[in-house]
Amino acid sequence: MGRYQFVEILGFGTFGVVYRAKDIVSIKDTQYAVKVLSRQQDDSPAASAQQQEWIINEMLGDHPNILHLYQVFFTPQSVFLIFDFCEGGDLLGAIVNRTFLWNDIAAKRACLQLVEATRYCHKKGVAHRDIKPENILVSGDSSELYLADFGLATTEKVCLRGQVGSRPFMSPECFGMSGVLSYDTRMCDVWSLGIVLVNMVYGIGLWHEPSNHDFHWCSFKNDPNYLIKSLPISKEANTLIKRMLTIDPEERITLPEVREELKKLKSFYLSADDVSVREISSVPAPARAPLKVVVEDFDPYAGAILRSVDAKDASFLAPTPTYPGPVPIPAVPELSHATLISTSATPSDILVTPETRPVPDSAAVAIAQSLSDLHSGDVAPVVEAKKNDSAVRKKFRDREAAFRNAVQKLAAYA
Which residue in the list 84, 90, 130, 184 is annotated as catalytic?
Answer: 130
> Do 23 and 3 form a contact (C-beta atoms < 8 A)?
yes
Per DSSP, the residues of 329-369 read: PPPPPPP-GGGT--TT--GGG---STTTSPPPHHHHHHHHH
Q: Is 176 exposed, middle or buried (0-12, 13-18, 19+ CB in 10 A)?
A: middle
Q: Please give the Cα distance from 364 to 368 (Å, whole number).
A: 6
Phi-psi region for residue 311, left (φ > 0), alpha (ψ -120 to 50) or beta? alpha
Distance of CA 373 to the CA centre of its chain: 31
> Do 174 and 109 form a contact (C-beta atoms < 8 A)?
no
DSSP 253: P
Task: Give the residue among 233, 393, 211 at the shortest CA–CA distance from 301.
Answer: 233
Element (H, E) at 304: helix 300-306
Element (H, E) at 397: helix 390-413
User: One-letter amino acid identity for 31?
Assistant: Q
Rg (CA), the chain: 23
Residue 130 annotated among the catalytic residues of the structure = yes
**What is the largest distance, in Å, between two alpha-carbon atoms of the chain?**
77
For the packed helices 255-264 and 235-244, what is the interaxial angle rounded to 10 degrees?
170
Task: Please give the positions annotated as active site.
Answer: 130
